[in-house]
Structure 1
Amino acid sequence: MNELISELQAIATPERAKASALFFKTGKGQYGEGDIFIGISNPDLRAICKKYNSLSFDDLQTLLNDPIHEYRMAALMILVNQMKKAKAETQKNIYDFYLKNTQQINNWDLVDTSAHAIVGYYLFDKDRQILYDMARTDHLWTQRIAIIASWYFINKKQYEDTFRIAEILLPHKHDLIHKAIGWMLREIWKREVKNNKEAKQVEQFLEKNISLIPRTALRYAIEKMTEERRKYFMQLK
């Protein structure tokens, strides 16, 4: 692990760190308050992490507990890499370890890098009730994990859980949840269009929930639609 940290420190740049701190809203009262960046791009981080896929849970826990954002991201990238190659028992251990650390998975990029590839991947052929329980918590990042985990199901042409979790989260006050809902609806729409030439399920969901869906979620969901359909849904709202 020390070698990994040394490699990360060697390519960190103050300029990128400053830009990342602004982009990920680390100021007082913002969603990323207190997060610390050292300034490493995700492609560079990913390339380095590939060399450390054998790190133990103890080492990964140390990284996840660190206040430096890129260290936590490195741990999650390594977990994703491990999940892809793991046997069933180890997959469960990775999944359990991940859920134990939701407090450390505490920014949207950390969630988006890992939730579908670990939680969604693991739950694909299992009971998914835990995602509904997570969506009903009052913890922002746990809630985002719940909806982003369903991205894995979307990629397998299974949409029901996304719609149902989205309905739970529609009243949410935070725009990071609104964006996640809209993004997942857009992903379904893209696959519906690709496979069936129409996107009836997403449009039916939007029409059914138009009075509840936040504007940000709606804009994300309809982004790839024709101008005519975008206008139609915005006028409904």
Structure 2
Amino acid sequence: MGESELTAAAVRAELAKVADAADAIHLQRFFKTGPGEYGEGDVFIGVRVPQTRKVAKAFAGIALPEIDELLDSEVHEHRLAGLVLLNDRMAKASRKRGADVELQRRIVELYLAAVRRGRVNNWDLVDASAEFVLGPWYLDRPRDLLFELAAQESLWERRVALLTTFAFIKAGDPATTLELCERLLVDRRDLIQKAVGWMLREIGKRVDAAILTGFLDAHAAGMGRTALSYATEHLTPEQRAHYRAQR
């Protein structure tokens, strides 16, 4: 595909070709787009994730302003395609040999701007991007920005902060995750509770089960039911019963 064809408009056109109206109805229900729900007002055209990723793959090398245009679309699948493309650009810019730090910086700034203007605004969008865009950048840098995001009222900014740390957990560094989880325990919104429990569970699985149980020893009594259930999922039945009895 020629460079002149690598445009946001071309991505949108390709997604439209594989869109399905029945799937759009299903996805709008699944992602809670009704009044008062967390995805209120989001628009779907009915493209499944594997198809979206396939379309995005054909546009590798698309310019960042075109990705930014996709992220500003009212259509969910357009934004997801933009994030998939941004992940790819970040991965290429982060390769150990010849890493392009300036390009990394531009990608991170573009992503954070999209987060702050409410364009990374559903759990699948956050989960498909935060660890892959912000994770590599903050792995070896100060992480103050993540605590700033976690201090916002926005559900999505808080989830971005926490899901970014999945990259740190995979690198064997759970410290930031633990601190963010401690701060977010009081947020009883379901999608924060699930994220907290999920990240704690991953610490136990990937880093050290003793770190997880140590956190639970200190905090289980004050944890929400959902977070505690997710966090203890891979513990023994006896351990799960022990921690759940503390609530």
Tell me which residue corresponds to 1:43: 50
> Which deviations, in whole Å up to 9, do the C-alpha atoms of 1:131-155 show, x marking residues without a partner?
1111111111111000000000000
Tell me which residue corresponds to 1:123: 138
> Which deviations, in whole Å up to 9, do the C-alpha atoms of 1:90-129 show, x marking residues without a partner?
0111001100111100001000000000111110010011
What letter corresponds to residue 54 of structure 2 in structure 1? A
The list of structure 1 runs, each at least 4 consecutive aligned residues, that deviate by more than 6 angstroms after superposition, is: none
2:239 paired with 1:229: yes
Q: SS of the counterpart of 2:58?
A: helix
Tell me which residue corresponds to 2:3: none
Instruction: Write out aligned runs for 1:114-153 (5 A).
Output: 114-153=129-168
- For this pair of structures, how many residues does the alignment match? 232
Gaps of 5+ in 1: 194-198
CA distance in 2, matches of 1:232, 1:47: 46
Q: TM-score, normalised by structure 1?
A: 0.95
Report if aligned partners of 2:174, 2:207 keep a CA contact under 8 Å in 1: no
CA distance in 1, matches of 2:109, 2:72: 16
> Which deviations, in whole Å up to 9, do the C-alpha atoms of 1:32-62 show, x marking residues without a partner?
0000111111111111111112222221122
Tell me which residue corresponds to 1:213: 223
> Which deviations, in whole Å up to 9, do the C-alpha atoms of 1:75-96 show, x marking residues without a partner?
0000000000011110111001
Aligned partner (choices 96, 109, 118) of residue 96 of structure 1: 109
CA distance in 2, matches of 1:209, 1:229: 14
CA distance in 1, matches of 2:107, 2:60: 13
Report the aligned-residue RMSD: 1.0
Which has the larger displacement, 148-157 or 217-226?
217-226
Identity %: 38
What letter corresponds to residue 56 of structure 1 in structure 2? A
User: Residue 3 of structure 1: CA displacement?
Assistant: 2.1
Q: SS of the counterpart of 1:211?
A: helix
CA distance in 1, matches of 2:160, 2:144: 13
Which has the larger displacement, 224-233 or 4-13?
224-233
> Which deviations, in whole Å up to 9, do the C-alpha atoms of 1:201-224 show, x marking residues without a partner?
101101201232111001011112
2:30 paired with 1:23: yes
Aligned partner (choices 188, 196, 199) of residue 173 of structure 1: 188
Q: TM-score, normalised by structure 2?
A: 0.91
Aligned partner (choices 67, 76, 88) of residue 69 of structure 1: 76
Tell me which residue corresponds to 1:5: 12
Tell me which residue corresponds to 2:176: 161
Which has the larger displacement, 112-121 or 204-213?
204-213
User: Residue 7 of structure 1: CA displacement?
Assistant: 1.2
